[in-house]
Each structure stands twice: as C-alpha cells, then as structure tokens.
Amino acid sequence: MFFSKRLLLTATLPALTLGMVALPVVTAAPITIVNDTFDVGTPPTVGDDAADPLDVPWINVSTTQTPTRSIVDDSGGIGSGNAQQVLVGNNTFLGASGDFSGLVTGGTLALATGDSITVSADARYTVTPDTNAFGFRLGLFDSAVNGTDSAYALLIPSGSNAAGLQFIKDNEVGGDDKPAGGSGIVFGTSSGTTMIADTSPFSATLTITRTLTGVSLSGSVGSASVSAVDNSGAFTTFDSIVIREGNNSTNFRFDNVNVTFNPVPEPASLALLSLGGLLLAGRPR
C-alpha cells in the first residue's frame, strides 16, 4: 500500500529563481508498487507469496487456452535466480497478467496530469522464437473497466523480423485474447530496428505519462526506443501488468518485474513552498 503524494515530497535547494528569490525545486519521490523477482517464498510461487510484500498474483491471459506456468531456476539465462516460465505448446497469444490492485489505495492507480507509471521486466525465449512483427508484449491495463481490455503494451519483434518497436492500444470489447492481444490500434515508430532473435535475455521498459490532452508513451529494449502520444480516449487508470506473446508460439521466461509510480507535486504543496521562499527572502538580514 502506498501513501498520498503529499507525504512524499522532497526538496532540493537551490534551483528555481523568482526575481532575486531562490526557491526550491520540488520533486516527488518515485513509489515502487511492484518488485517481483520470484525469489521470495518457501518455495516461491506464481501466486501472492506472503513473505514478499511487493510481489503480485499471476494468472493466465486466456480463459480457453492454458499455458503451463511455473517458477524455475534461470540463473544461467536471465541470470538473477528464479524466473517465471511460460510453456505455450503450439498456441499463440499466451502469457500472464499480474494483479497489483491489492498494492494501491482504492485498488486502481489513476494518473493525474504529469503523473507517470513505468513497468519493466527482464525476459528471454527458451528456444529460437518464431518470426513475428509483434512477437512479445509488455504492458499495463485496468481490469476493472468492464467489457474492454483497456491496455497499452510495447510490441517487440521476434525471430528475423526487424520491424522495430511499436505500441498497441487494445480497447477491444470482449474476446478471449485480452489484454493487449490480437486486436487493437498499433502506433509509434521506433528510433531503430530491433528484434529478439535468439535465447539471449533482454530488458524491456514501458512508461505512460498523463498529459493535459491524453497520454504520452515511451518504450525501450536495449538501445532501441520508441515514443508516441494518444490524445483520443486515452487510458489513465491501471491495476495490472501483462507479459505475453503475440502471434508467436515460443516458450519464454520473465523475471524482475517492476512497476513504479512517479507522481508530480500537488499544486497546494508547490504554493506553500513558494510562499515560504518569499517569506524567507523578506526577512531582515
């Protein structure tokens, strides 16, 4: 459970200047919501292990096709101990979603203007992956929005497809492939081509920032990055992570799943600090 942004303000001096008055720059401390390494528990599980306050329960993203998911030692692969393994068989669009609603006040994280949320994870295929432009997906969604998927995800090409990174906005109504599955709006152009062509581990990051008109998105895998905006019916509430494949039937593993909330200072707090700076400047010397 995290606390109000009012309790998480920090100040660094000096930085801003109003006339001859030096005012502090006010920043809000990032809040770690999820840090799931699959290493805590006796033994660690894909569920909510009581010994780990920042892990989350993971479930299948499909209700009709069921992958085999388990915790395995991947020290020789991703290299940080245990990982969650997803065996998909011959099926596509499979993976897992992690529910962090129990770790945020009210069950859903709602972004105010300027707030951002970041999800990151390490992953790797266990064999050479299928070739697909949207082979692997890392995203965030709101499971509480009835009838739609309400997800954003970073799309990562696999196999020999070097199309580059993109985003998907999945607002499909119904369907079994939710969230961030086969249907949705694909947008964004990568700064460089990238693909996951073998069993080497990779790190992926997705950040969603609320703006005055919608949201901005940024994503990266290694040195490749992509950014875009969504100003039409943007999603601004989230309670779950999605890690899955697209039209790809290759087994994979993932680890070190993190979700971080980056709030902006509230206007009232900024006003109080500015007033304090002015009062201090007016004191006789």
pLDDT tens across 164-201, in order? 899 999 876 655 556 766 667 889 987 767 789 999 99
Q: What is the CATH classification number for the domain harbouring 42?
A: 2.60.120.870
Distance CA 170, CA 236 (A): 13
SS3 state at 5: helix
| Residue 3 included in any domain | no
Q: Which domain holds residue 220?
A: 31-281
Q: What is the mean pLDDT of residues 80-93?
A: 92
| Residue 6 included in any domain | no
pLDDT-based confidence at residue 18 (cuts at 50, 70, 90): very low
Amino acid at 197: A
| Residue 124 included in any domain | yes
Distance CA 125, CA 204 (A): 14
Confidence (pLDDT) at 134: 83
| Residue 152 included in any domain | yes
Q: What is the pLDDT of residues 55-72, one digit of tens each?
A: 999 999 877 788 999 999
| Residue 23 included in any domain | no
Helices (H) and strands (E) in the chain, counts: 1, 20
Report the domain count for the chain. 1
| Residue 21 included in any domain | no
| Residue 13 included in any domain | no
Q: What would the two tokens of residue 224 be?
A: 């490749």
| Residue 242 included in any domain | yes
Residue 255: pLDDT above 50?
yes
Of residues 72 and 24, which shows the higher confidence score? 72
Report the side by side order of strands in the sheet with 185-187.
Answer: 58-60, 95-99, 240-245, 132-141, 151-158, 166-170, 185-187
Confidence (pLDDT) at 6: 36
